[in-house]
Structure 1
Amino acid sequence: MTANIAFIGAGNMASAIFQGLVSNGYPADHVWVTDPSAEKLAPYAAQGLRTTTDNDSAIQACEVVVLAVKPQVMKTVVETHQAAIQQAKPLLISVAAGIDADSLELWAGGDLPIVRCMPNTPALVGTGASGLFANPRVSSAQRDLTEAIMGAVGITLWVENEAQIDAVTAVSGSGPAYYFLFMEAMAKAGEQLGLAPDVALKLTLQTALGAARMATESDQAPSQLRANVTSPKGTTEQAILSFQRQGLDKVVQTAMEACRDRAQTLSEELCKRS
């Protein structure tokens, strides 16, 4: 039996996930999408998805509910639809940052299987990375279903405890921005070395793509791949030594700790049990 899946919210991340599902062969008529704007939903209805502005009707029709609203309004949305959630008892999957499973369960009325998911923006192009945490009420079959849903837009990895979701945020949730920043710096440096802006940017982007493909398709660790292209007394070695002298490892570590710490603070702010 194919599960009915409701997406509460039709923003970019939700759209990436449900369109990825359908593109991979999931039956469109088993996917519900809700949004306050009927106009926004119209293109999805044209693709055969079930659409509605009524969250309760979607929740009651589905075995899985993906909560894809902004973290700041999650409490209001879940509490507003608590009765429908309790009636349906679906698997709840949250893709909102900073909202812990206990708070979601409290707002939803309790006794529910809940998965927290930390996706990232490359999901928009089918190359996402999602960290997953399940509360004890999530069954093995529901874990498999979660993997199938999030696997439609990239890889999925389970973490052992919920606190590790903050580490996932630091590594992959916010990680794309780190690479974009490095690309900016490389392209700008290329210009300063005399390349035309478009040439510097294209070389930077293709190099990033090539390095990522080599790393993902190789059975060698990134450290070994780096060593393979770093000849003693060669040009690459000089760049690597410069990075090391300026403490690149420490800069990255400090930045990712700051990201994790902010994720923890946001969770405290958003999940006050008042």
Structure 2
Amino acid sequence: MGMHTVAVVGAGKIGEVLLSGLVKAGWPVDRLIATARRPERADELRSRYGVRVLENAEAVASADVVAIAVKPQDAGALMAELGPLMSSDKLLVSLCAGLPTSFFAKYLRDEVPVVRVMTNTPALVDEAMTAISAGAHATAAHLSLAEEMFKPLGRTIRLPESQQDAVTALSGSGPAYFYFLVEAMTDAGILLGLPRQVAHDLIVQTAIGSAVMLRDSGEHPVKLREAVTSPAGTTISAIRELENHGVRAALLAALEAARDRARELAAQNT
């Protein structure tokens, strides 16, 4: 750690999460660079993290790892500017949702290694799930470096790039599904006569405990569910209603729709 100089180009929400994680993990601040469109944002990043905030071209010239954290629709104009400045001794890490590594490769004149990363918003509390895929010219060493960068934010996993659209649908968008479920269960708690805050607290802690059990027990979710489901009891009555209303099928359809939308967005920007 610390031998590489990392430039986060477009230090918005996700870019700042990466910066914050690197700082907390002990990455030398003098080897961290950020770029920002607005002067007030640049001042904010300098004050908060003590990093250098440079213009895009200067940041790329000063770094050997360039993390692109702009919105997908802004990536083309950015890469037209930065592509000619990238050389094969640098690593490009993309955090741009939906964009394949081939999108970046067409702006690069040399055999610049590209790694595609999909993380999610629990990175804000160091509980992210980050999927990392190698693009053209990226080696195992490049993947290891990307893992080192994102490990402070939570868990990492290596996947073939062909699976990244599914990752976007499942874990990239995944937190929203859980928030939606908590919202619906909170409303149900109110319907059943509980105060909103009580219902919220009950559901959130139940979600945390259930997630930890799934993670730490190694048991299949069906087995854990069956342990709560007594014959002719309350839980099986509720599950019957979920099945009657097609909740399982709705989830499958929802994730397929998210994956298809990821593909559409990629096609629009490539």
Give TM-score, length-normalised by structure 1.
Answer: 0.93
The 2-side partners of 1:220 and 1:116 are apart by 31
* 2:33–2:54 CA contact under 8 A, matched in 1: no
Letter in 2 for 1:63: D
Letter in 2 for 1:232: P
How far does the alpha carbon of each residue in 1:104-154 deviate from its partner, in whole angstroms, 9 at most, with x for none?
111233521001111111111111111111024112221111001111111
Letter in 1 for 2:33: W
Residue 127 (1) aligns with residue 141 (2): no
Letter in 2 for 1:131: A
Alignment RMSD (CA, Å)? 1.5
Matches within 5 A, 1:212-227: 212-227=211-226
Residue 30 (1) aligns with residue 31 (2): yes
Matches within 5 A, 1:85-100: 85-86=86-87, 89-100=89-100
* Identity fraction in percent: 35
* 2:46–2:53 CA contact under 8 A, matched in 1: no
The 1-side partners of 2:243 and 2:25 are apart by 43
Matches within 5 A, 1:59-208: 59-86=60-87, 89-160=89-160, 162-208=161-207
Shift of 1:82: 2.1
Aligned residues: 269
> 3-state DSSP class of the match of 2:133?
strand
> 3-state DSSP class of the match of 1:163?
helix
The 1-side partners of 2:182 and 2:156 are apart by 26
Gaps of 5+ in 2: none
Letter in 2 for 1:253: L
Structure 1 segments (4+ residues) deviating >4 Å? none
Gaps of 5+ in 1: none
The 1-side partners of 2:110 and 2:176 are apart by 36
Shift of 1:164: 0.8
The 2-side partners of 1:119 and 1:268 are apart by 21
Shift of 1:95: 0.6
